[in-house]
Amino acid sequence: MSTSDHLARPFFARDTVTVARALLGQRLVHVGGGERLSGLICEAEAYAGPYDEASHAYRRTPRSAIMYGPPGYAYVYFIYGMYICLNAVTEADGYPGAVLLRGLLPLEGMETMRVRRPGVRDSQLTDGPGKLCAALGITGALNGVDLCTSAELFLEAGAPIPDEAVVVTPRVGVRGDVAAVSRPWRFVWRPASAGSSRAAVSGAASTAG
């Protein structure tokens, strides 16, 4: 599989907050068992720098060490004994940062997503960080995967999302000092209709940089 349509490393090698905003409308793809599953990113949160008490990088541990590495890699972790969460590592090599992917608008592989998340509405298949990983079959085995070169887990460019379609809020459920809990580093895109999603896909550009 060609990786020419993947988001390139320079996309991730930027300020984490900038990357979090820019990820809205990009397409997350997981290829497993010969099937391609995907969705457009509609919610993302930035976790940046060793000064951010809400970030895993606030204290460097074997788990968070990947956040100090080169950008464009997947940081996947298990939380609350229940959920898998997917992050994209950002910033320059040596400076910690990552964006948590909190929500998708599902596109490809809907039937498989419904099987993996039985009894929920389509609108709730991927509307949370643990939910999107469960629906797309993303597991801890993908921790450390290079999102820029992998044929299994990667991101493709979508159409830019205008500022008027984005809501910016503090991050959800974080702990830390006043700055950590109040930083407006959560970005949410809620298209008015499914047609908005299709328009974003049809307008997708080639590899972003």
Residue 200: which pLDDT band, with cuts at 50, 70 and 90?
A: very low
Bridge partners (DSSP) listed for residue 89? 98
Rounded to whole angstroms, the Cα distance separating 71 from 65 reads 12
CA distance 183 to 194: 30
Which pTM was predicted? 0.90
Tokens of 50: 């060793």
pLDDT tens readout for residues 124-164: 999 999 999 999 999 999 999 999 999 999 999 999 999 99
Compute the radius of gyration of the chain from its Cα atoms.
16
Please say if the pLDDT value at position 202 is more than 50: no
Average pLDDT over residues 169-174: 94
Q: How many whole angstroms separate alpha carbon 143 and alpha carbon 133?
A: 12
* Residue 1 pLDDT greater than 90, yes or no: no
CA-wise closest residue to 161 among 183, 182, 130, 192: 192
pLDDT at 104 exceeding the cut of 90 = yes
Domains, the chain, in order of start with CATH, read 9-201 (3.10.300.10)
- 14, with CB counted inside 10 A (0-12, 13-18, 19+), is middle
For the stretch 10-25, pLDDT in tens is 999 999 999 999 999 9
Residue 111 has phi, psi (to 5 degrees) of -60, -40
pLDDT at 190: 86
Q: Does 192 score more than 80 pLDDT? A: no
pLDDT surpassing 80 at residue 3: no
Residue written as token pair 């993947």? 6
